[in-house]
Structure 1
Amino acid sequence: MIWKCLIVDDEQLSLKIVEKYSKMVEQLEVVATCNNAFKAIEFIKTERIDLIFLDIKMPELLGTSFIRTLAQPPKVIFITSYPEFAVEAFELNAIDYLLKPLSLERFLKAVNKVINMDNQIGERQSDHSRYGHLYFSVNRKMVKILLENILYIESVKDHIKIYRDLDTPLLVKQSLISVQSMLPPHQFLRIHRSFIVPTHRITAFTNHDVEIGKIEIPIGRQFFGQLKKLALQKC
């Protein structure tokens, strides 16, 4: 699915940054940008919009108030300098709430939530798309990773390594906890403070390690119970 996006922000620099990041993701199409909520209201009347990147504190009409004017609002990711509107934003069913200055990593994490929604719809409709994909920032590029190709993920200091079928490991500057929050929990399991594995790849396990083919990965003691429970559920 291509998500048609509208960016609404009265700060030109912020608007350009969001537009730049959006154009790096093939599933996002920026159809328009607006510097105030009233222009956005008029635009939405005539155009289909799937996702809005929305500032909050704008002249005349707050972003949160703007969303309340819409009978059927699109999905919304708020991007603002003000943390105090977060509760109100999530009451409006926001996908995410991002604080300025906006980093590419944080933007990508929010966008992957949207992509995951699309993946979940696909999972219900077709077995061929049930694993989906995510995007990661690598050397200033947005790299698409098919989840079904992941062998395992390893934490290395302040980076992660994503091991894939027939490919060299992908080094990403991101924490393991951050990546874990992006992955579908029914498909991926953390088994160690430094490792996440896709459950469909596990060929055997003991109290001490997991086998993925010929690869042995250690299990942390606190994670073994969850792995055993998962195995019993699938028996």
Structure 2
Amino acid sequence: MKHKMRCVIVDDEPMAREILASYIEKTANLQLIKSCKNASEALVFMQDNQVDVYFLDINMPEISGLSLAKIINKKAQIIFTTAYRDYAVDGFDLMAADYLLKPISYDRFLAAVEKVNPIKDSKNNNHFMFVRADRKMVKIDFESILYIESLSDYVKIFTSKKSIITRETISNLEQKLEGKSFIRIHRSYIVSIDKITSYTNEFIEIDKKALPISRSYKESVLQKLAEV
């Protein structure tokens, strides 16, 4: 499955948020994960969620889109939206992917999204990821991961040296690992294909631990392993 870019809209105008949401919904490679009415709301959300693309309104009360852009994770892409043409220079000084002038047509929206794609694709070459654990962002090399287990409201990542607990969802981690040597075998488990020592139709064994293959994932898992 092709990776969908996770999008967040930040705009104090309800109509503007609705228009952008409708554009994102009908664009195949985009997924709207949050629509925020101000920068403060976006700041809270970005603490615990990975975002690929922000659609930022520049002229907002209290915290402007330009101010928010300066503290957004540098791995994320920014597309500014505004009703004021004069902001364009400031927007591109912050290395925005594009600058959309309201009212925004769908054709112009798609042109902006196309500018994001090549940069996004290059990021998939990373061999590591960062997750929040113990009040800090911890680097985890993909090669060290044995398997990942979802436990209620948190996720436990088992590596060759230790286990790490984070409040990220297993689905979010699955997206981070997309294109790597990992496979989802159960709603609660993701495993490293390279670390599998044996498997049956019901279980996968890693590091002397048997992990269940759920009925809903069985066909895709067995097909994937047969191709290895």
Q: How far 1:139 sits from its partner (Å)?
A: 4.3
Question: Equivalent of 2:215, from 190, 215, 221?
Answer: 221
Measured in 2, the distance between the counterparts of 1:183 and 1:86 equals 31
Question: Equivalent of 2:170, from 166, 176, 179?
Answer: 176
Q: Partner residue of 1:117?
A: 122
Amino acid at match of 1:212: I
Q: Partner residue of 1:76?
A: 97
Deviation per residue, 1:29-87 (Å, 9 max, x gap)? 9xxxxxxxxxxxxxxxxxxxxx8534212522587xx88xxxxxx78389xxx9x8888
Measured in 2, the distance between the counterparts of 1:192 and 1:86 equals 38
1:53 and 1:77 in contact (8 A); partners too: yes
Measured in 1, the distance between the counterparts of 2:110 and 2:172 equals 20
Mapping 1:126-145, distance limit 5 Å: 132-145=127-140
Mapping 1:1-235, distance limit 5 Å: 9-10=58-59, 13=63, 14-22=65-73, 28=74, 53-57=78-82, 59-60=84-85, 76=97, 88-92=108-112, 93=114, 95=116, 114=120, 117-120=122-125, 132-167=127-162, 169-234=163-228
Measured in 2, the distance between the counterparts of 1:221 and 1:150 equals 24
* Bigger Cα displacement from structure 2, 150-159 vs 52-61: 52-61
Measured in 1, the distance between the counterparts of 2:107 and 2:190 equals 31
Question: How many corresponding residue pairs?
Answer: 163
Amino acid at match of 2:80: D
Measured in 2, the distance between the counterparts of 1:21 and 1:155 equals 27
Q: How far 1:192 sits from its partner (Å)?
A: 0.2
2:57 and 2:82 in contact (8 A); partners too: no
Taking a change above 3 Å as real, the CA distance of residues 207 and 136 of structure 1, as seen in their structure-2 partners, is same
Measured in 1, the distance between the counterparts of 2:98 and 2:153 equals 27
SS at match of 1:55: strand
Q: How far 1:231 sits from its partner (Å)?
A: 2.1
Q: How far 1:90 sits from its partner (Å)?
A: 4.5
SS at match of 1:136: strand
Q: How far 1:138 sits from its partner (Å)?
A: 2.8
TM-score for both structures, normalised by structure 1:
0.55
Measured in 2, the distance between the counterparts of 1:17 and 1:182 equals 24
SS at match of 1:229: helix
| Runs of 5+ consecutive residues of structure 2 not aligned to the other structure | 1-55
2:58 and 2:66 in contact (8 A); partners too: yes
Deviation per residue, 1:138-185 (Å, 9 max, x gap)? 344222211111111111123211111112x22222221122122123
Amino acid at match of 2:97: V
| Runs of 5+ consecutive residues of structure 1 not aligned to the other structure | 1-6, 23-27, 30-50, 68-73, 97-112, 121-130
